[in-house]
Structure 1
């Protein structure tokens, strides 16, 4: 079988830009001509073996980055979009989707954006949404979806923000003092803290007062202090990233700014190098990491999924948060497991059971329809309102990695990861899952024909052809 050619123009440009090199200098260091480099960066030619070796030897580049990231995400997203009945039965083969994602990523993104607009329009029509056709915003993706996709295709790692946060956290010499340092930095700007408001955070710029909810946990208070510090001290950096993102609406830009400030807060609370080393030392024990860095279990889980720095990558994790209805409210994956863009998560996944066992970690060995096996952990992270009459916000988080990394996790201890029968079958979502005999299937798959016999009934009232 011929070896598949490697097209990674976006990664090459990203690497060159991060190093601050011109195309001419970069081409010289890679040992190729300037036109050849230009063609590789524009995906007109594949990346040669010599260039891959030069990247590793000259820059210490993790060459696995060339074949991961955007392409896998786009392939998964296109498979889900093409399962829509509007495309009929002519679904392109997986190999074609991979070629499109690698060779024409801009076209693949345009296709996904077009399908997203189509889906939104049909959903508005079905619900008799009066806004359909009355203003141009009806044809745009929602601001939340825009921001979700921005972080999704950034691999949930923003290098410049991560390094800025790490530099700030390292300025005091100890991770444990980062919150105190942030408070001092705010006070140096004439901003003082108060713990009086029912709001999680409320900043009065005119009076120079940052109010925090006194009932919030210490981890939440620290996170919000660092979030506000990011908005005040990293404005130029955030604006530069937002300008490059090119959001379609001002609302999306504002939401993304909040997301970037949240990223800074998490990265300052858990600085990359220190957190990466601690994660390896503790074998990714979330409770120990939470105690050591003064962060919540959810914050630790999310931070583990961002450890994607070139040359110092952590275990590739997926991270997800769901509510009691099974709706995914946060999602990210550095693994081959990519979450559905629409609908809830697979009901066979252990994250749903976490609500039944609050305060405990649940472990699951799971296998997806493509044959990839995962170690998954889940835990309830419901949040008290701080008083008897305040509502409780109920969530559960899921964190997992491919089973090849199981030895690096304390949660794999005593699990029989070499026994195929120990792995439970799970899917992505029912609408694109190919399993024919799933006893928890809620809806038929969109891209498969059904056979319906009134005289025959199995687990499902139909069979999947």
Structure 2
């Protein structure tokens, strides 16, 4: 609050978005905040700065986190908008960076609308003539819609967390005992038996619920962490079904595939929240300084399950480190992504080959820390760990201001070490002289000459 009081805060667009999310008009909000409608109108139009007193009123009236509300959200949106405006369809216009930043900061609704239109355009490019038309136009792909929905919620679903935590209080903490309790609860309360089945019987499936015989069958190859998660998933599907259905309905999925995908994703979320109850898990993470192997062992979960949960510690008043998380293969293709508070790479492409998530494959199972810096100058600490025998790696990361809270960053000097410079993704990166570049930037023309060869591939013009 001291920082907020020392500088003028013009947060009109954020205030306007908050009011619209609450579903109230200016007169109603002004009455609830104890100010005149004309004063609120001035605040929303950035004609008056938000005072510290007004911030406190907002926090107390609408239960918002002042730090999140004051934090600049324009940079991430500006990065996304720059990526979109780098498309060959419009890049010749040459929109200046300060114009893009102004739109992102002052007109978040316009930025979101442009992003949705661009996703629809890419859908049409991938599947011309095959898109389903609805009354509102082209429907988004289910995975794109789900990713956007989860990102908007900060990967945190408070009601589901609370429901899972209430169940967890009636069960054991130690993973082996918890698994036994879950089996017993499924049988006693829901009449569901659990059977470890040969791989041939399940025909490649990891788990299968036989609704007729009320029997959950688990593949014999599943590790203990997988079996524990499967038990928790089945129980949450039974006991939190109504809560999950309400959350899915509130998200307003555009089609049946999106609804089913969201239901599965939120049941997975509930299972993780049951195995790693919010308060106990966050306290353990803070006490152990986010030691990934320690947390994985203590809660009996896999590295991937752990990383998912670490991105969801966004409860008001009890937040953890705001991690982003990706699952990546050797070719650099992302199969999962959770943006967290900040995301250093392109939202519409892959990652930078200079990032050592790729290098973690040389030492599977070992946490590999790295200090990176983006084109904009923002620094991040990232932790990558390759999953043995899978060809995939999990990586999490956060801004360096949180680095002192991470035991895996102790070997890094966050102030003096030279960071590895990374770009958003090769076809959008304008960093010159990069020897690891795989593609030229679509925002610049190539500058090729037969009489000269540079160390960096694909030389391009500055303007």
TM-score by length of 1: 0.85
Kept after mapping to 2: 8 A contact 1:166/1:267:
yes
Following superposition, the deviation at residue 366 of structure 1 comes to: 1.1
Identify which range, 314-323 or 57-66, moves more after superposition: 57-66
2:69 maps to 1:66: yes
2:273 maps to 1:267: yes
Could you say if the C-alpha distance between residues 23 and 121 of structure 1 is closer, same or farther in structure 2, counting changes exceeding 3 Å?
closer
- Matching residue within 217, 221, 225 for 1:215: 221
- Matching residue within 277, 288, 292 for 1:286: 292
Query: Within 5 A, what are the aligned runs for 1:2-13?
Result: 3=8, 5-6=10-11, 7-9=13-15, 12=18
Kept after mapping to 1: 8 A contact 2:360/2:393:
yes
Q: Secondary structure at the match of 1:331?
A: strand
2:111 maps to 1:108: yes
Could you say if the C-alpha distance between residues 253 and 70 of structure 1 is closer, same or farther in structure 2, counting changes exceeding 3 Å?
farther
Find the counterpart in structure 1 of residue 186 from structure 2. Answer: 186
2:139 maps to 1:143: no
Find the counterpart in structure 1 of residue 56 from structure 2. Answer: 53
Aligned residues: CA RMSD: 3.2
Kept after mapping to 2: 8 A contact 1:203/1:211:
yes
- Matching residue within 442, 448, 458 for 1:446: 442
Kept after mapping to 1: 8 A contact 2:328/2:393:
yes
- Matching residue within 439, 455, 459 for 2:451: 455
Q: Secondary structure at the match of 2:442?
A: coil
Find the counterpart in structure 1 of residue 169 from structure 2. Answer: 170
Query: Within 5 A, what are the aligned runs for 1:406-417?
Result: 406-417=403-414
Query: Within 5 A, what are the aligned runs for 1:273-422?
Result: 273-382=279-388, 393-420=390-417, 422=418
Q: Equivalents in 1 of 2:46, 2:300: separation in Å?
A: 44
Q: Equivalents in 1 of 2:30, 2:293: separation in Å?
A: 47
Q: Secondary structure at the match of 1:450?
A: coil
Following superposition, the deviation at residue 13 of structure 1 comes to: 5.1
Q: Secondary structure at the match of 2:385?
A: strand
Q: Equivalents in 1 of 2:277, 2:286: separation in Å?
A: 14
Equivalent residues, number: 445
Find the counterpart in structure 1 of residue 153 from structure 2. Answer: 154
Kept after mapping to 2: 8 A contact 1:361/1:379:
yes
Identify which range, 57-66 or 363-372, moves more after superposition: 57-66
Kept after mapping to 1: 8 A contact 2:124/2:131:
no
Q: Equivalents in 2 of 1:105, 1:259: separation in Å?
A: 27
Kept after mapping to 2: 8 A contact 1:60/1:311:
no
Following superposition, the deviation at residue 370 of structure 1 comes to: 0.9
5+ long unaligned stretches in structure 2: 1-6
Q: Equivalents in 2 of 1:37, 1:208: separation in Å?
A: 57
Q: Equivalents in 1 of 2:27, 2:169: separation in Å?
A: 35
Q: Equivalents in 1 of 2:232, 2:97: separation in Å?
A: 44
Tell me the alpha carbon deviations over residues 46-87 of structure 1, each in whole angstroms, 9 at most, x when there is no partner: 755432123456787531111459755433322211110111
Following superposition, the deviation at residue 228 of structure 1 comes to: 2.0
Could you say if the C-alpha distance between residues 215 and 4 of structure 1 is closer, same or farther in structure 2, counting changes exceeding 3 Å?
same
Q: Equivalents in 1 of 2:307, 2:369: separation in Å?
A: 15
Following superposition, the deviation at residue 461 of structure 1 comes to: 4.0
- Matching residue within 105, 124, 133 for 1:121: 124
Following superposition, the deviation at residue 133 of structure 1 comes to: 5.0
Find the counterpart in structure 2 of residue 82 from structure 1. Answer: 85
Query: Within 5 A, what are the aligned runs for 1:221-260?
Result: 221-260=227-266
Tell me the alpha carbon deviations over residues 331-379 of structure 1, each in whole angstroms, 9 at most, x when there is no partner: 1222432442333211111110111211212121111111111221111
Q: Equivalents in 1 of 2:69, 2:140: separation in Å?
A: 29
Kept after mapping to 2: 8 A contact 1:364/1:376:
yes
Q: Equivalents in 1 of 2:215, 2:76: separation in Å?
A: 42
Kept after mapping to 2: 8 A contact 1:8/1:40:
no
Q: Equivalents in 2 of 1:231, 1:160: separation in Å?
A: 15
Kept after mapping to 2: 8 A contact 1:175/1:270:
no
Could you say if the C-alpha distance between residues 34 and 430 of structure 1 is closer, same or farther in structure 2, counting changes exceeding 3 Å?
same
Following superposition, the deviation at residue 320 of structure 1 comes to: 1.0
Could you say if the C-alpha distance between residues 230 and 35 of structure 1 is closer, same or farther in structure 2, counting changes exceeding 3 Å?
farther
Kept after mapping to 1: 8 A contact 2:344/2:374:
no
Tell me the alpha carbon deviations over residues 83-134 of structure 1, each in whole angstroms, 9 at most, x when there is no partner: 1011133344444444444544333222112112222323445xxxxxx258
Could you say if the C-alpha distance between residues 47 and 231 of structure 1 is closer, same or farther in structure 2, counting changes exceeding 3 Å?
farther
Q: Equivalents in 2 of 1:22, 1:170: separation in Å?
A: 41
Kept after mapping to 1: 8 A contact 2:369/2:384:
yes
